A and B are shown apart, each in its own frame.
Chain A
Amino acid sequence: MSSFGWIDGSIVGLYVLITMAAGLMVRRYVKGVDDFLVAGREMDVHLGIASLAATEFGIVTCMYTAESGYRYGFAGATPGILMALAMFVVGKTGFCVKPLREAKVVTLPELFEKRFGQGVRRAAGIVIVLGGLLNMGVFLRTGGEFLLTVVGFGARLPGGAAGGIEGWAQAHTLELTMTVLLVLVAVYTVLGGMLSVLVTDFLQFIVMSLGLVVVTILILVRIGWEPLARTVSEKFGEAGFNPFANPDLGVGYVLFQACLNLAAVLTWQTTIQRVMAAKDAATGQKVYTGTAFFFVCRFLVPGLWGIAALHMLAPGAAPSTLTAMPTWLSTFVPVGLMGLLVAAMLAADMSTDSSYMLTWSSVIYNDIIAPWRRPGWTEKKGLLMNRLLVGAIGLFLLFYGLWYPLEGDLWAYLGVTGTIYLASMSTLLVACCYWPRANASGAVAAIVVGAVLPVAYLVAERVAPELAKSIGPYWSGLSAYAGAALAMVVGSLLGSPVSKEASA
């Protein structure tokens, strides 16, 4: 039985009201496309840290990292350490992100055009949008499952009992809840673009962080460290603390996570959009170094919640490993704090949804439909097109995101679909910034190989599950990174060298 009551409902309502008001208030500052997409490049360090942290932590993050804790113990938080290391090193050295910000582009494909030509820009845009939207496809349903489980509506998820409209509404509580949430987010994102995203991200970061910290302290105080560590030790032995000792994880897992997280830090459009929106390259780098350790928290805090669920729940008490954490939290968190937790998770989800909608629409506008944009388009027309694109992505998410049948390990699914673009785009970015011999032939080869290998794995999962299982998602993902890099080298060496102006 969930402890969610009217006090909690009031806290959540107040949070939604304040967020909407703040998001809508700043819409009047949007004068043109640059303000809409990159906040006029006026973002400073602390706002950047809040926005990056809020964007990169959604309910889906909380669910899969908690699931990792539930299934693998502390070893499941390893990707967080790898991502924090990658972000700190990139921020400190400016590797790729410095030339990227100094190029004054809005998206990665725009940078690629300077080096590899218009065709590569369009192809990169399509790969980014495809990979990004497929990845985002799981957000709504997973977020809805968390929210409904912690407020005590989880039992209604499979279907309603009554007939008529009431029965239909009961059977579709998840879809209706997430539709309302997405519409609210879409309203302020469509009107205020990146400015609304930054201001609401700031509020959402505070609410989200309060909820995460308070619930974690509650777990550590009421359950204690010792019982949690003992549970991990009893269930997994050394494998619960060391990913190399776990047969389900191992070297392949750690190597894949290292590649995935470095590539994400360098090229994930929602992450690098904070570098683009920063007032200069140094500010962008400071945002990276300042946020780096957050990525340890991003995995370890929900991971600890998952471990607490493993400790407290009787075997079979949760419908699945993914819902174990919210099932347990719904009974553990007291009235009042439950409202803060739900508001925190709503904040996490809203900030992620708004940034993702804006990001993918910016790539579609900037790189995919660019050939059809007339040179004389006014700022007003550009703004209208961007707003329509954000709305269209929202609609896509509603239909694809709420009905996609999620199977298997969520993190593995996110990893493979993300790899569709991370492998090729990171290869293109590194080559574009640091290898003068790189050319369009190499770029096209890297895009094709980097996209084909993860897609082939997804297809194999359906048509030849035994083969897919023997390869595993981690080695499949690693082959995409290695394949894309190799294709870039071979393609560039076989293709004609670039002119001096283009490589400058």
Chain B
Amino acid sequence: MSETFWWLLTWACVVWYSTLTVYVAVRGLADIKKMLSHLKPPE
């Protein structure tokens, strides 16, 4: 029972973490662009 719990949790970590990395890599870049455009010093 407890071994199954850790098996499930381990694979959930691998799948979730891989997905999050790709998702955040794409969306985070957009966040950086937006943040820097708001903070851009006046020309």
Q: How would residues 314 to 352 of chain A score, 1 for a CB under 8 Å from any chain B CB and 0 otherwise? A: 000000000000000000000000000000000000000
In the complex, the answer to whether A220 meets B39 with C-beta atoms within 8 Å is no
In the complex, the answer to whether B41 meets A31 with C-beta atoms within 8 Å is yes
CA distance in complex: A40, B11 (Å): 38
A interface secondary structure, majority: helix
CA distance in complex: A48, B40 (Å): 20
Judge whether B3 is part of the interface by a CB distance below 8 angstroms.
yes
In the complex, the answer to whether A293 meets B28 with C-beta atoms within 8 Å is no
| Smallest CB gap from B18: residue in A | A213
**How many B residues, CB 8 Å from partner?**
31
With a cutoff of 8 Å between Cβ atoms, the chain B residues found around residue A216 in the complex are 13-14
Binds B, one of A105-113, A139-147, A294-302, A442-450: A294-302
CA distance in complex: A35, B18 (Å): 32
Binds B, one of A9-17, A199-207, A368-376, A480-488: A199-207
Given contacts A213-B14, A300-B9, A300-B10, contact A46 B31 (CB under 8 A): yes
CA distance in complex: A26, B38 (Å): 13
Q: How far is the CB of A416 from chain B (nearest CB, A)?
A: 28
Given contacts A28-B41, A50-B28, contact A213 B3 (CB under 8 A): no
With a cutoff of 8 Å between Cβ atoms, the chain B residues found around residue A241 in the complex are 2-3, 5-6
CB under 8 Å from chain A, chain B span 26-43: 27-32, 34-36, 38-41
With a cutoff of 8 Å between Cβ atoms, the chain B residues found around residue A210 in the complex are 21
In the complex, the answer to whether B41 meets A233 with C-beta atoms within 8 Å is no
In the complex, the answer to whether A195 meets B6 with C-beta atoms within 8 Å is no
In the complex, the answer to whether B6 meets A74 with C-beta atoms within 8 Å is yes
In the complex, the answer to whether B10 meets A225 with C-beta atoms within 8 Å is yes
In the complex, the answer to whether A212 meets B6 with C-beta atoms within 8 Å is no
CA distance in complex: A296, B41 (Å): 40
CA distance in complex: A360, B2 (Å): 41
With a cutoff of 8 Å between Cβ atoms, the chain A residues found around residue B40 in the complex are 29
A residues in contact (CB < 8 Å) with B: 26, 28-29, 31, 35, 39-40, 42-50, 74, 77, 81, 195, 198-199, 202, 205-206, 209-210, 212-213, 216-217, 220, 225, 229, 233, 238, 241-242, 293-294, 296-297, 300-301, 304
